[in-house]
Homo-oligomer: A and B are copies of this chain.
């Protein structure tokens, strides 16, 4: 594992992601599935944290079931309205919610 970047650097990265056109919000969840960073209201944050904690964990299990030496790097869920990307890093996960119709503006 790499050393984590200094706290100010994390803030900068999150700010940079959030400022991308089409990005509607982001949530960082800890190993317990609790949101430790969010740009959204409490209820929406809870919904994303709960749903994507379980989905990411199931995706990781599937990847390892197919090949025990493999590991999940990225998960992308495209719905009619949104594109949700989950980047697990160690036991933490970054969830980014985008408007897919606005992404390339």
A residues engaging B (CB < 8 A)?
47-48, 51-52, 54-55, 58-59, 61-63, 65-67, 69-82
Residues of chain B contacted by A51 (CB below 8 angstroms): 61-62, 65-66
* B52 touching A62, Cβ below 8 Å: yes
10 contacts between A and B (CB under 8 A): A55-B58, A55-B59, A58-B58, A67-B82, A70-B79, A70-B80, A72-B77, A74-B78, A75-B78, A76-B77
A77 is contacted by which of B69, B75, B81, B82 (Cβ under 8 Å)?
A: B75
Chain B residues within 8 Å of A76, by CB: 74-78
Residues of the B chain whose Cβ atoms lie less than 8 Å from the Cβ of A52: 62
A58 with B54, Cβ < 8 A, contacts A76-B75, A78-B74 known: yes
Smallest CB-CB A-B distances: 8 pairs: A74-B78, A51-B62, A76-B76, A63-B79, A70-B79, A70-B81, A73-B78, A59-B77
